[in-house]
Structure 1
Amino acid sequence: MANYHCQIRPIQRSKGRSVIQLLGYITGLKLRSTRTGRTYRRRTRGDVVRFACVGSNLPIQDLWQKAESAERRKNSIEGRHQIVALPRENSQEEQWKMLVAMAEVISRLLGVPVVVALHDNAGELDKPRNPHGHLIFATRVWNERGQSFGGKTRALDVATTGSVIIESIRKKWEDIVNAGLPAGVPKVSRLSHTRAGRNRIPRRHLGERATELERKGIPTRYGNFNRRIDKLDRIAERRMKVENQLNPASILSRADRQRELGLQRELAIADALIADLSPMRRNPPANTPVVANQTKQFDTGKTVGAGSERNESPQPSNLPIIDQAPPQNGDKTQPPEVSGDGGPAIPSQLLPLSLEEELRLASEALDGATGPEKDLLPPL
């Protein structure tokens, strides 16, 4: 499957980079730098398929010596390097046409010469195919009639305009690749997972050195990272399949899942608050408001929240109940509600019982347990 990769980097002298050295690498030519006095050439040319220069008829050596001499400062940017991935579904001739079309777009857009090269290790049997292209373009406007470089392309140096130009170049490369892909091959996209709305973690680009180590069986940091992300994606995909098989009629969307998780979280918080309130029922501190309608029944010190599925055994008669019905028929066993020191009214069920009241309740319970035997017989 074709993938999208388009990276543009400046060639900076301050970082020890030279445009002549990079040109010797992508073309395989033996080039000499007048600034450094050194000669550069690629050691092996096995993956250099073809190269050309768009926007100028001068030889590459003469053209880029002028480009190098036009930059006087020690921290100048001598050029820009663009690397693009080519689809394996296309032939080398079709891939070359894509690269030339991209070079012509940049040359017309900025008015600069562009050197384009196609690399592919198709002839090396011990390595997988890696077709890709290199484009190097100058930072000054080229005058073909006068055979000289003019002013700098400042639009790329400013953040506000440079980002727009870079985005337009990336969009153009996306259009070129999608137009050249064979029928039935999925289209590529320049958008990241976040911009495209995909809930995926982006992988790390290995690069040349890390890729070579991975091919030799030596794990790298980025390689391990990508393998972990692939494993997480496989787990998430299997989980989604299982969820769809278990409940195919009502497949929840991502928003519904988030809403359901929020409700479960609120329910857990409410249960925790109820559990914290239960030790205060017998002896609440002063000036502490009591919230009603939070608990329904108690059993041996455990609090049961409304709507939960906990133990629903019959409650002991000597434990108080919140929100119970008011006393009727002159029942005076319920003392009236009292208020604390300037605090809100506290229900009588939450107040500690006096010693006399405890003895009375105990005697009533004892009398009920030792009543007439006829009450224990089953009805006729």
Structure 2
Amino acid sequence: MAIYHLSVKLITRTTGRSATAAAAYRAGEQIHDNRTAQTFDYTRKKEVSYRRIFAPPNAPQWMKDREQLWNAAEQAESRKDAQIAREIEVALPIELSPSQQIILLERFVHTQLTSKGMVADVVIHNKKNNPHAHILLTTRDINITHDGFGQKNRAWNSKEQLEEWREQWAKHCNRRLSIASSKSRIDHRSLQDQGLDQIPTVHVGANCNAMNKRGISSKRKEFNTLIKEKNMINEKSKQLIASLKLDDEMNPIQQEIVQAKKSKHLFLNPTDFNNSKKYREAIFARTYIPILLEIFADYCTGVDEIETEIGTCFQINLNGGGKVYDYGSQIKIANGTDAEIKVAIKLAVEKGWQGLHLTGSDEFKSQVFLEAILSGAFRLEQITGYKPSKAVLEVIRDCKPALKIANESNVIKSYVVEKSDDSGTGSVEQGHLPRLKI
């Protein structure tokens, strides 16, 4: 399940560290330090799956170059005890796909870091069962006049700033988990603040993990094992005590209140086996609808949870009367209007889908296909269930010449063709990259 981890540390010269070495190691690249004349080469590092530099709009273009950025950060400091960079390390929820993890990370960086004037060097290390990200941050404001760094920003060192990052990371993670239809949630608060009667585990760290791989037992891992066993015993004891409580010990009025609450799905007991599914669905609905309202604030008048002939879904009511139905791994629309199609494509992107499979009439599928390609949300090879006509490909050529569609027959052969119905509506499903059949 998803775990919460966000730690912040400083890269300082007093500890013998440099920003150039830290950036090279995390990104798995080679960087030459102009100040010390050292070259740091970590190009053999295999676990790096994503690297990108984010900068505020007023940042000069050269700050997008990793070597230039961190050499400039080093040269801006003259003190022997200088704080050269700040690092935020976060654990990425394993319930999210790699693309969903990237969306989560980029949204957090944009809203919490670059919007405040920091340059962020973001790298994902895709370790098995431990995907995590390193965010290396600058510590000085950008000086536009001198095309470089200005004064130190002390506000970024405050305890309030740290608490805001911790809270916002939990909110961003829970939002993406909800959009991905995952029931997992994380909490930045301590177990005590959450009111949980559990013993917190200790951080194991890379050194202990390396020892375990070599068959050497570490005290930290043994300590964590004992803590987990203790917490498990406590939880089983609570469940046993709860199972021994008899319903007839409550008076009739109390029983009636409990049953009324359960029937309305308002305050359901998560440990009640018979209602655990309804409880999860109720919690999911209360967190998911506000997220949809926020994402589509400019497009919709409201979101309703409804029952249809194929199951429960979230109905997004659009301005002008259109409707989009979110079934989790399937998106349906009511009338096939341009507004509905645009919202459906945007919803698929927010969910982090890696492909689309289209059903419905050829007219509907061509509309969705064009919107998905021309908006840049998906590539041609990511869409199945539709055979694009020569006219459709010509439109793409005119609007997106960079795609360079050289041969229509090669493109068309990469699509799965389905029999279309007579209606103008259809659905968009979460797809997988098609296998080419030549």
**TM-score calculated relative to the size of structure 1:** 0.60
- Alpha-carbon distance change, 107 to 184 in structure 1, aligned in 2, over 3 angstroms: closer
2:29 is matched with 29
Q: Does 1:142 align with 2:164?
A: no
1:165 is matched with 161
1-structure distance, mates of 2:100, 2:11: 28
- Partner of 1:11, secondary structure, is strand
> How many residues align structurally?
241
1:234 is matched with 232
- Alpha-carbon distance change, 205 to 185 in structure 1, aligned in 2, over 3 angstroms: same
1:199-278 pair list within 5 angstroms = 199-248=197-246
Q: Does 1:39 align with 2:39?
A: yes
Q: What per-residue deviation string (whole Å, max 9, x for no partner) do you get for residues 243-264 of structure 1? A: 334444579xxxxxxxxxxxxx
Do 2:29 and 2:43's aligned partners in 1 also have CA atoms closer than 8 Å?
no
1:96 is matched with 102
Q: What per-residue deviation string (whole Å, max 9, x for no partner) do you get for residues 206-229 of structure 1? A: 111212222443221211111110
**Per-residue deviation at 1:146?**
4.1
**Per-residue deviation at 1:183?**
1.3
2:77 is matched with 71
2-structure distance, mates of 1:226, 1:35: 43
Do 2:112 and 2:165's aligned partners in 1 also have CA atoms closer than 8 Å?
yes
- Partner of 1:62, secondary structure, is helix
Let me know the Cα RMSD of the aligned residues.
2.0
Do 1:98 and 1:180's aligned partners in 2 also have CA atoms closer than 8 Å?
yes
1-structure distance, mates of 2:37, 2:246: 71
- Alpha-carbon distance change, 203 to 156 in structure 1, aligned in 2, over 3 angstroms: same
1:279-294 pair list within 5 angstroms = none
Q: Does 1:112 align with 2:110?
A: no
Do 2:100 and 2:176's aligned partners in 1 also have CA atoms closer than 8 Å?
yes
Do 1:83 and 1:132's aligned partners in 2 also have CA atoms closer than 8 Å?
yes
**TM-score calculated relative to the size of structure 2:** 0.52
- Alpha-carbon distance change, 248 to 235 in structure 1, aligned in 2, over 3 angstroms: farther
- Alpha-carbon distance change, 248 to 39 in structure 1, aligned in 2, over 3 angstroms: farther
Do 2:95 and 2:182's aligned partners in 1 also have CA atoms closer than 8 Å?
no
Do 1:110 and 1:153's aligned partners in 2 also have CA atoms closer than 8 Å?
no
2:373 is matched with none
Amino acid at match of 2:23: L
- Partner of 1:31, secondary structure, is strand
**Per-residue deviation at 1:44?**
2.8
**Per-residue deviation at 1:43?**
5.6
1:175 is matched with 171
Amino acid at match of 2:72: K
- Partner of 2:192, secondary structure, is helix
Amino acid at match of 2:117: G
Do 2:122 and 2:135's aligned partners in 1 also have CA atoms closer than 8 Å?
yes
1:131 is matched with 131
2-structure distance, mates of 1:63, 1:72: 17
Do 1:106 and 1:114's aligned partners in 2 also have CA atoms closer than 8 Å?
no
**Per-residue deviation at 1:71?**
0.6
- Alpha-carbon distance change, 187 to 20 in structure 1, aligned in 2, over 3 angstroms: same
Do 2:88 and 2:136's aligned partners in 1 also have CA atoms closer than 8 Å?
yes
2-structure distance, mates of 1:144, 1:40: 29
Q: Does 1:85 align with 2:83?
A: no
Q: Does 1:8 align with 2:8?
A: yes
Amino acid at match of 2:215: G
- Partner of 1:195, secondary structure, is coil
1-structure distance, mates of 2:210, 2:144: 41
1:357 is matched with none
- Partner of 1:78, secondary structure, is strand
More strand by share: 2
1:145-156 pair list within 5 angstroms = 146-156=146-156
Do 1:54 and 1:107's aligned partners in 2 also have CA atoms closer than 8 Å?
no
1-structure distance, mates of 2:208, 2:188: 23
Q: Does 1:50 align with 2:50?
A: yes
Query: Looking at CA atoms only, which structure, 1 or 2, has the larger radius of gyration?
Result: 1
1:303 is matched with none
- Partner of 1:71, secondary structure, is coil
1-structure distance, mates of 2:109, 2:118: 10
In structure 1, list runs of 5 or more residues that go unmatched.
122-127, 252-380
